Chain A
Amino acid sequence: LAKTTQPISMDSYEGQEVNITCSHNNIATNDYITWYQQFPSQGPRFIIQGYKTKVTNEVASLFIPADRKSSTLSLPRVSLSDTAVYYCLVGDMRNNQGGKLIFGQGTELSVKP
């Protein structure tokens, strides 16, 4: 499975747009990209997933360039409640029976008033 690299931490202020970029240089053709969010004292929570181009849902947008060697999670107008750790993961689509998730260190986002 492709290894992912993210910034360890980021700071932001309420109302700003936050972009967290993840590098996955060795991503394979059958790999998809998923982002999870983890609040303190909770388990990780699925946010968004994509294969290429752009995906948007009610929580975030995910931008994936044509070479797929990186991806950017975009959080519009963050609030204090968006303070959390954000994980970028890469997984094999062919494993449709599920399979282990491989977490990296994640990016600790701190949103300030």
Chain B
Amino acid sequence: EAGVTQFPSHSVIEKGQTVTLRCDPISGHDNLYWYRRVMGKEIKFLLHFVKESKQDESGMPNNRFLAERTGGTYSTLKVQPAELEDSGVYFCASSHRYSGNYNEQFFGPGTRLTVL
């Protein structure tokens, strides 16, 4: 079974530009999450989709971040315009509603974003 995939693996952009990150969850997983780790900090939750609906977006830092999950499959996270403090690693995770373990989430390898 394929795991969670993320694209691109690395992205280097200049301040003010736009970047779109993509996440493909494990097939059949209704829950999709975005997290990020900025320099020296802990991994922080951004938002949670259940199928195509936003269940919890309490972690989104500001309106420069827009997440979508059209059709309830893959998701995109757009940062527009990017700022220096957005640099970090963005992780996507997915989970199945009926996992044998409580809320076991499967993470992708992350996208490393560098804003210059």
Contacts and interface: CB of A to CB of B under 8 A. Distances in A.
Partners in one complex: yes
Interface of A: 32, 34, 41-46, 49, 91, 93, 95-106
Contacts of B103: 34, 91, 95, 98-99, 101
B33 A44 contact: no
A44 B35 CA distance: 11
Interface stretch (B11-19, B62-70, B75-83, B93-101): B93-101
Contacts of A44: 43, 91, 107
A49 B108 contact: no
Nearest to A94: B102
Contacts of B59: 100
Interface of B: 4, 31, 33, 35, 42-45, 48, 50, 55-56, 58-59, 91-93, 95, 97, 101-110
A69 to B, nearest CB: 19
A95 B95 CA distance: 13
Interface centre among B43, B44, B55 (most CB of A within 10 A): B43
Interface centre among A43, A91, A96, by most chain B C-beta atoms within 10 angstroms, is A43
Contact of A43 (B45, B48, B97, B110): B110
A45 B107 contact: yes
Given A42-B107, A96-B97, A98-B33, 18 more contacts: A41-B109, A41-B110, A42-B109, A43-B93, A44-B43, A46-B105, A46-B106, A49-B104, A91-B102, A96-B102, A97-B50, A97-B55, A98-B48, A98-B95, A98-B103, A99-B103, A101-B33, A103-B43
Contacts of A99: 48, 56, 103
A43 B55 contact: no
22 contacts: A41-B109, A41-B110, A43-B107, A43-B108, A43-B109, A43-B110, A46-B101, A46-B104, A46-B106, A49-B101, A93-B102, A97-B31, A97-B50, A97-B97, A98-B31, A98-B103, A99-B103, A100-B33, A101-B105, A103-B42, A104-B42, A105-B42
A42 B37 CA distance: 12
